[in-house]
A = this chain, B = another copy of it.
Amino acid sequence: MTAYADFQNHIAELSDLLNAISILKWDARTQMPPGGAATRGNQLATLSRVAQAHFISDKTARILDAVEAEIAGEDPDSYRVRAVKQTRQYYDIVRRIPVELTARKATLAPVSEHVWSEAKKNNDFASFAPYLRQMLELAKQQADAVGYEGHPFDALVFEFEPSVNAASLKVLFEDLKAGLLPLLKRIVAHDKPLEKDLWAREYPLDKQKAFGLEIAQKIGYDLERGRLDIAPHPFEISFTRNDVRITTRYNLNYLPMALYGTMHETGHALYEQGVSAELTRSALTTDFLGQYPVGGTSYGAHESQSRLWENQIGRSRDFWNVHFDRLREFFPEQLADADPDLLYRSVNRVRPSLIRVEADEVTYNLHIMLRVEIEMALLEGSLQVEDLPEAWNAKMQEYLGVTPPNDSKGVLQDVHWSGGGFGSFPGYTIGNVMSSQFLEAAHQQVAGLDDSLRRGEYAPLLTWLQQNIYQHGRAYDANELLVRSTSSPLHVKPYLAYLEAKFTGLYGLS
């Protein structure tokens, strides 16, 4: 057996273990009876220990030494070299993190998440503050263990988005704000209620599900390798490209919740189902740190696909021109007095609001930037946990012109920090920015793409995305993918141009 085959077998086993963990998590969130929670926790903890022991073993070191010698001199951009290089990189990182730190975090996180959940319910930031301090301290220790040159945030964001750091994010955010804040002001000044409120009507859930699944398949989701379930916090999860599952949640009135939730998760799923079959059970479909959907290359790259299919496709005028009639077949009475234009405007209304997950395309990134700036300040010590609610509310007022009436609708709204997930928020905004770069390149490179989208034919776009992004799994990082397929690193111009054009038109701002 070659050293490379030996390496592949070893990583394939690790991949199987990590995918088994994902299956147990999917089951816990969608199928498990409530009584199973405690022993499911035991099962997950044991599998995680076994997977970690498998990865940081001396056997991995021996295998890496042998395979590095064998592939020396091969094309540095080949899948083989990338697979070995990334395994080495993550092996070194994971070995640097003290086992006690990982164990401490694993033990504290569920307690802290529970305290957060109660604090959110009771609007009681003070009860959560001590836990947030501890999770923050553990995050700092982790950053120190992993190592960084500039800002401690760099070590944390690396786990989600290896190709950015605190400094590059600050530049990105300033560029974004320079476009977003003036645009938002102009929209708010022109906003008025729509002539009809389509979301005051009732849309039976079984029909919502049927329409959502029809759209998911239409844009390319393969149900032979997927399924749709209900979850209170929707997500996509993959157990190899052959089994990629999505979830959504339903609201009887607010049709867009389930539909765009389904399209969003379908975007993630298209990425996972589109990874090259040759990468199955390889290092290039393995998340060695357990932070993001397995096959894709980073949180941002993944989010670029969920956002692209949800927003640039699903919330476009073309989309409703094509699909409105079909939607009305499902809901003939509810939509008797509607038309494609009303639907388009009804799913795109911009309003500064308190809650990130309910935000529109224009305000969404302001919610993200606020969080990332606060994370950086907490990590560098320029902001103390006890001053967090005040800082939050001040930034909400500054960026969005609204002030939360209480902490439950403010600083306590997201689960991320309570579980120690510092560094994960930038991915959402990076995804938005990337999505427009990809779409711009696709339009330049695919003849007739405009026409095909106008006809509701998504295969040409999907094919381009598969060839340029999906098939590579994690072989290239987000920035490499951008440069390879769009000839440019991450930059905000196409995204701001997209928003400017769309909302100038929608609000008659020209």
Q: Contact between A240 and B16 (Cβ–Cβ < 8 Å)?
A: no
CB of A480 within 8 Å of the partner chain: no
Cβ–Cβ < 8 Å partners of A280 in chain B: 39
CB of A297 within 8 Å of the partner chain: no
CB contact under 8 A between A43 and B20, given known A36-B243, A225-B36, A243-B36: yes
Please tell me how many copies of the chain the complex holds. Answer: 2
Stretch of A23-31, A178-186, A380-388, A444-452 that contacts chain B? A23-31
Q: Contact between A46 and B16 (Cβ–Cβ < 8 Å)?
A: yes
Q: Is the interface of A mostly helix, strand, loop or mixed?
A: helix
Cβ proximity bits A236-263 to B, threshold 8 Å, 1 near / 0 not: 0001101101000000000000000000
Q: Contact between B35 and A222 (Cβ–Cβ < 8 Å)?
A: yes
CB of A12 within 8 Å of the partner chain: yes
**Nearest-neighbor residue (CB-CB) of A18 within chain B:** B43
CB contact under 8 A between A47 and B17, given known A33-B243, A39-B240: yes
- CB proximity to B under 8 Å, residues A39-54: 39-40, 42-43, 45-47, 49-50
- Compute how far the CA of A85 lies from the CA of B429 in the bound complex, rounded to whole angstroms: 59
- Compute how far the CA of A45 lies from the CA of B12 in the bound complex, rounded to whole angstroms: 11
Cβ–Cβ < 8 Å partners of A245 in chain B: 33
CB of A232 within 8 Å of the partner chain: no
**Nearest-neighbor residue (CB-CB) of A223 within chain B:** B33
Q: Contact between A32 and B243 (Cβ–Cβ < 8 Å)?
A: yes
Q: Contact between B19 and A43 (Cβ–Cβ < 8 Å)?
A: yes
CB of A227 within 8 Å of the partner chain: yes
5 A-B pairs closest in CB distance: A36-B243, A35-B225, A16-B46, A39-B240, A16-B43
Besides the known contacts A13-B50, A33-B227, A35-B224, 6 further A-B residue pairs in the complex with CB atoms under 8 A apart: A16-B43, A16-B46, A16-B47, A23-B23, A33-B225, A50-B50
A interface list, Cβ under 8 A from B: 12-13, 16-17, 19-20, 23-24, 27, 31-40, 42-43, 45-47, 49-50, 222-227, 239-240, 242-243, 245, 280-281
